[in-house]
Chain A
Amino acid sequence: MTQNLGFDVAHLLAGSMLVLSFVLLYQDRITAVLNVFALQAIALSLSVAWQSVIQDAPHLLVTAAIALLVKGAVIPAALHRIVRQLGIHREIEEVIGAGPTMLTGLGLVALSILLVMPVGPGVSVLVREDLAFALAIILLGMLMMITRRNAVTQIVGFMSLENGLVLAASGAKGMPLVVEFSTAFSILIAFIVFGIFVFRIRERFDTVDVTALDRFRGEQGDRE
């Protein structure tokens, strides 16, 4: 029964992370996107904490705490501040075809399930399921980075991709703490770089819509 309960709760948490990835794809308001991202990070930290309970691995609790503090609180708060400073917190983003995006997302989920299914029988059911969910979350994060035009939501896509990475890593038994720390720091550094980058885009082009960069690269120069 306890084995069953462990599986059920892990299934629930990882599944809700995947659902939140879809909600991220669906949202078109920037503040709502940031809030959903914070929720996903909280779900991630709960999921990792649950893994530490059922795997009897206390060091995963540190990972959960890092996820909760950095990605559940600090990064969303900082992004909220950036959005406010840029004055785009009320902006509604033109999502490129919510319908096709959702359908593509469903296709990606099916693809990741099909990819993970043939993994050998030596791995437990839970690990395989976590891998399938994590792969789906990573692909959905990439999809979000492709379909969004606003630099801030692209960053959120990147961060949710990283959530998927941590989910996959926490499912594998015995991930060393060093790896986790280095990932967390690289994410923080990437975040700082992104932040500076966004402000540079804004200074140069008066907008954070990245289609402005296309003209700068000369991609649409012939037509104008």
Chain B
Amino acid sequence: MALIPDLVVDLIAQAAQMLLVLALAPLVLGFTRKIKARLLRRIGAPLWQPYIDLWKLLHKDAVLAHNASWLYRIAPYFVFAATWVAAALVPTYAANLMFSWSADLIAIVALLATGRFALALAGMDVGTAFGGIGSSREMMIASLAEPAMLLVVFSVALIAGTTQLSSIATTFATASVGLRVSLGLAMFAFVFVAIAENARIPIDNPATHLELTMVHEAMVLEYSGRHLAMIEAATALKLMLYFSLLACLFLPFGMATTDKDWAALGIGVSSYLLKIFVMAALLPIGETAVAKMRVFRYPIFLGGAFAAGALAVFLLFVSRSF
């Protein structure tokens, strides 16, 4: 390794992480769909179906409404870019990479919120009823999920002493944090928020096009062609992002932290893949076990997440302030 300057190695490691999440995201989505289909006793589409779908969509003409503005055309690329940046910042197989200083938890939450804002605007742009109802529901879920997410961020940051993701992961992976009720509660709240944000089953059904129940799909109903491809890719990336975040915050074991020789990186990559696919298998199992919720029950569901997050912060204050 002495032949290659350190800067180049760092750059390659960072680029590898950015490309890894982008390349893996459709596969993980296909994996969850496959498991779900098997649980419902169907054969299901092959694992690489999301890649084929994206390829197909990229080669189709995009149909635009007559009254669609520039916002409608730009929003898909914007959403994709914001989600990709957020997903690429989360430490996956190694912490302390080149751009780790910018991987702040609050920044990631803000990036996702910006993307969601653009998509909600685009949903209302054409002026159809479905786009409007989808946008309004999406914003309702967002306004409920974001406080819970921020409380999770606070409780994790109080333990680790920073909001920077790679420092948090390093702290949790190496230092002994002890048995913490707060971390368990924060993880519980985080899983609830992740389910809501990714439009998975108790909140929203990603496979449905029934008008009364859809949230995310209603918002993007008007999109087609390459615009839809961008949105689908962003959805897959978002799921990947939340899996990575869960792995990074609550199960950072095996991650390459300080010395980056090949053995550490190998352990890092393989443990990361293992964690991601275990989670991708658990998600559809959980989804088939519960029924979809009425829209009016969302505040109670996410209120539970908020209460758990707040309780986590309170418990930290009890054990800390003395």
Binding site for B on A (CB under 8 A): 4, 8-9, 11-12, 15-16, 18-19, 22, 26, 98-99, 102, 105-106, 109-110, 113, 117, 125, 128-129, 132-133
Which chain B residues lie closer than 8 Å to A133 at the CB level?
318
Name the one of B303, B310, B318 contacting A98, with C-beta atoms under 8 angstroms. Answer: B303
Q: List 29 A-B contacts (CB under 8 A).
A: A4-B178, A8-B179, A8-B180, A9-B179, A11-B179, A11-B315, A12-B179, A12-B180, A15-B181, A15-B315, A16-B181, A18-B315, A19-B181, A19-B185, A19-B308, A22-B307, A22-B308, A26-B304, A102-B306, A102-B307, A106-B307, A106-B310, A106-B314, A109-B311, A109-B314, A117-B321, A125-B319, A125-B322, A129-B318
Q: Give the secondary structure class of A's interface.
A: helix
CB–CB B307/A128 < 8 A: no
Chain B interface extent, by class: 20 to 34
Indicate whether B317 reaches chain A with its CB closer than 8 angstroms: yes
Residues of A within 8 A of B303 (CB): 98-99, 102
Kindly list 10 other residue pairs between chains A and B, CB separation below 8 angstroms, not including A12-B180, A98-B300: A8-B178, A11-B181, A11-B319, A12-B179, A106-B307, A106-B311, A106-B314, A129-B322, A132-B318, A133-B318
> Which residues of the other chain, A, contact B322 by a CB distance below 8 angstroms?
117, 125, 128-129
Q: A22 to B322, alpha carbons, bound, how many Å?
A: 24
Enumerate chain B residues within 8 angstroms of A125, measured Cβ to Cβ: 319, 322
In the bound assembly, the distance between CA atoms of A102 and B151 in angstroms comes to 15
Residues of B within 8 A of A (CB): 178-182, 185, 299-300, 303-304, 306-308, 310-311, 314-315, 317-319, 321-322
Q: In the complex, A106 Cα to B308 Cα: how many Å?
A: 10
Smallest Cβ-Cβ distance to B314: which chain A residue = A109
| CB pair A129 B304 closer than 8 Å | no
- A105, B307: Cβ atoms closer than 8 Å: yes
Q: Give bound CA distance, A102 to B322, whole Å.
A: 26
Tell me, in angstroms, the Cα distance from A26 to B180 when the chains sit together: 23
Q: Which 9 A-B pairs have the closest CB atoms?
A: A15-B181, A8-B179, A8-B178, A102-B307, A125-B322, A12-B179, A99-B303, A98-B300, A106-B310
Set of chain A residues within 8 Å of B307, measured between Cβ atoms: 22, 26, 102, 105-106
Contact of A99 among B178, B182, B299, B315 (CB under 8 A): B299
Whether A19 touches B311, Cβ cut-off 8 Å, given contacts A4-B178, A11-B179, A98-B303, is: yes
